[in-house]
Protein backbone atom coordinates (compact mmCIF):
# COMPACT_ATOMS: atom_id res chain seq x y z
CA UNK A 1 0.00 0.00 0.00
CA UNK A 2 1.29 3.45 -0.89
CA UNK A 3 1.48 5.90 1.97
CA UNK A 4 -0.32 9.10 1.01
CA UNK A 5 1.50 12.38 1.66
CA UNK A 6 0.00 14.83 4.13
CA UNK A 7 -2.66 17.05 2.47
CA UNK A 8 -0.48 20.21 2.38
CA UNK A 9 2.38 18.24 0.80
CA UNK A 10 0.06 16.55 -1.69
CA UNK A 11 -1.35 19.95 -2.66
CA UNK A 12 2.17 21.36 -3.10
CA UNK A 13 3.26 18.39 -5.23
CA UNK A 14 0.18 18.63 -7.45
CA UNK A 15 0.47 22.43 -7.82
CA UNK A 16 4.17 22.20 -8.66
CA UNK A 17 3.44 19.42 -11.15
CA UNK A 18 0.82 21.54 -12.90
CA UNK A 19 3.11 24.59 -13.08
CA UNK A 20 5.97 22.54 -14.52
CA UNK A 21 3.79 20.84 -17.14
CA UNK A 22 2.30 24.20 -18.20
CA UNK A 23 5.78 25.74 -18.52
CA UNK A 24 6.95 22.66 -20.41
CA UNK A 25 4.07 22.94 -22.86
CA UNK A 26 4.87 26.64 -23.34
CA UNK A 27 8.48 25.67 -24.11
CA UNK A 28 7.21 23.18 -26.69
CA UNK A 29 4.90 25.66 -28.38
CA UNK A 30 6.96 28.87 -28.19
CA UNK A 31 10.59 28.20 -27.25
CA UNK A 32 11.85 31.54 -28.61
CA UNK A 33 9.26 33.46 -26.59
CA UNK A 34 10.31 31.66 -23.42
CA UNK A 35 14.00 32.30 -24.20
CA UNK A 36 13.25 35.99 -24.72
CA UNK A 37 11.90 36.19 -21.16
CA UNK A 38 15.43 35.31 -20.05
CA UNK A 39 17.07 37.75 -22.44
CA UNK A 40 18.15 35.05 -24.87
CA UNK A 41 17.94 35.00 -28.65
CA UNK A 42 17.82 31.49 -30.06
CA UNK A 43 17.84 30.13 -33.59
CA UNK A 44 16.51 26.85 -34.92
CA UNK A 45 19.11 24.85 -32.99
CA UNK A 46 18.28 26.61 -29.76
CA UNK A 47 14.58 26.05 -30.30
CA UNK A 48 15.23 22.35 -30.87
CA UNK A 49 17.34 22.07 -27.71
CA UNK A 50 14.78 24.03 -25.68
CA UNK A 51 12.03 21.70 -26.84
CA UNK A 52 14.02 18.47 -26.58
CA UNK A 53 15.65 19.01 -23.20
CA UNK A 54 13.93 21.96 -21.54
CA UNK A 55 10.33 21.06 -22.32
CA UNK A 56 10.91 17.33 -21.88
CA UNK A 57 12.56 17.90 -18.51
CA UNK A 58 9.81 20.22 -17.28
CA UNK A 59 7.01 17.89 -18.40
CA UNK A 60 8.78 14.80 -17.03
CA UNK A 61 9.40 16.38 -13.62
CA UNK A 62 5.87 17.75 -13.53
CA UNK A 63 4.40 14.32 -14.22
CA UNK A 64 6.64 12.73 -11.57
CA UNK A 65 5.56 15.30 -8.97
CA UNK A 66 1.89 14.77 -9.83
CA UNK A 67 2.26 10.99 -9.60
CA UNK A 68 4.18 11.23 -6.30
CA UNK A 69 0.92 11.82 -4.44
CA UNK A 70 -0.49 8.39 -5.17
CA UNK A 71 2.31 6.04 -6.18
CA UNK A 72 5.53 4.65 -4.85
CA UNK A 73 8.58 6.81 -5.51
CA UNK A 74 10.05 4.46 -8.15
CA UNK A 75 6.74 4.31 -10.00
CA UNK A 76 6.31 8.11 -9.92
CA UNK A 77 9.86 8.66 -11.16
CA UNK A 78 9.43 6.13 -13.97
CA UNK A 79 6.16 7.80 -14.96
CA UNK A 80 8.05 11.08 -15.25
CA UNK A 81 10.82 9.40 -17.22
CA UNK A 82 8.22 7.96 -19.60
CA UNK A 83 6.75 11.43 -20.16
CA UNK A 84 10.26 12.79 -20.73
CA UNK A 85 11.03 10.18 -23.41
CA UNK A 86 7.66 10.70 -25.14
CA UNK A 87 8.22 14.47 -25.37
CA UNK A 88 11.81 13.98 -26.55
CA UNK A 89 10.68 11.45 -29.14
CA UNK A 90 7.97 13.74 -30.48
CA UNK A 91 10.38 16.65 -30.72
CA UNK A 92 12.94 14.47 -32.53
CA UNK A 93 10.31 13.27 -35.02
CA UNK A 94 9.16 16.80 -35.85
CA UNK A 95 12.73 18.16 -36.06
CA UNK A 96 13.90 15.28 -38.26
CA UNK A 97 10.96 15.51 -40.65
CA UNK A 98 11.30 19.30 -40.91
CA UNK A 99 15.04 19.07 -41.62
CA UNK A 100 16.03 21.01 -38.48
CA UNK A 101 18.37 18.20 -37.45
CA UNK A 102 20.26 15.57 -39.41
CA UNK A 103 19.19 12.05 -40.23
CA UNK A 104 21.36 10.72 -37.40
CA UNK A 105 18.45 11.70 -35.15
CA UNK A 106 16.46 8.76 -36.52
CA UNK A 107 18.22 6.77 -33.81
CA UNK A 108 16.42 8.87 -31.19
CA UNK A 109 13.19 8.84 -33.18
CA UNK A 110 13.23 5.06 -32.79
CA UNK A 111 14.76 4.78 -29.32
CA UNK A 112 12.84 7.45 -27.39
CA UNK A 113 9.34 5.98 -27.87
CA UNK A 114 10.64 2.48 -27.05
CA UNK A 115 12.28 3.77 -23.87
CA UNK A 116 9.10 5.71 -23.04
CA UNK A 117 6.90 2.64 -23.39
CA UNK A 118 9.35 0.53 -21.38
CA UNK A 119 9.41 3.15 -18.59
CA UNK A 120 5.64 3.41 -18.61
CA UNK A 121 5.17 -0.36 -18.43
CA UNK A 122 7.67 -0.65 -15.59
CA UNK A 123 6.03 2.25 -13.74
CA UNK A 124 2.64 0.55 -13.97
CA UNK A 125 4.13 -2.72 -12.76
CA UNK A 126 5.66 -1.22 -9.61
Residue 31, in any domain of the structure: yes
* Residue 106 vs residue 21, higher pLDDT: 21
In a domain? residue 1: no
| pTM for this model (two decimals) | 0.89
Mean pLDDT score, 6-10: 88
Does residue 65 lie in a domain region?
A: yes
Q: Please tell me the total count of domains within the chain.
A: 1
Q: Residue 116 is part of which domain span?
A: 7-125
Give the H/E segment covering residue 65: helix 56-67
CB 31 within 8 A of CB 54: yes
Amino acid 115: pLDDT: 96
Give the model's confidence band at 1: pLDDT under 50 very low, under 70 low, under 90 confident, else very high: low
Cβ–Cβ under 8 Å, residues 126 and 72: yes
pLDDT number for residue 3: 73
CB neighbourhood size of 122 (10 A): 15
- pLDDT of residue 48 exceeding 90: yes
pLDDT band (50, 70, 90) for residue 121: very high
Give the pLDDT confidence of 58-91 residue by residue, as tens digits. Answer: 999 999 999 999 899 999 999 999 999 999 999 9
97-118 pLDDT per residue, tens: 999 998 888 999 999 999 999 9
Residue 2 lies in a domain: no
In this structure, is residue 72 part of a structural domain? yes
In sequence order, the 6+-apart residues with CB closer than 8 A to the CB of 123 are: 67, 71, 74, 75, 76, 78, 79, 81, 82
**Exposed, middle or buried, 89 (CB in 10 Å: 0-12/13-18/19+)?**
buried
Q: Considering the domain boundaries, does residue 83 fall inside one?
A: yes
Amino acid sequence: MVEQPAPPLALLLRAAGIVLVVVGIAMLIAPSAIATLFGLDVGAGGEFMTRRYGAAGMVGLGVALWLATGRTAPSAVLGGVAAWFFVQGGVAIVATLSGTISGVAWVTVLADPILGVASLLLARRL
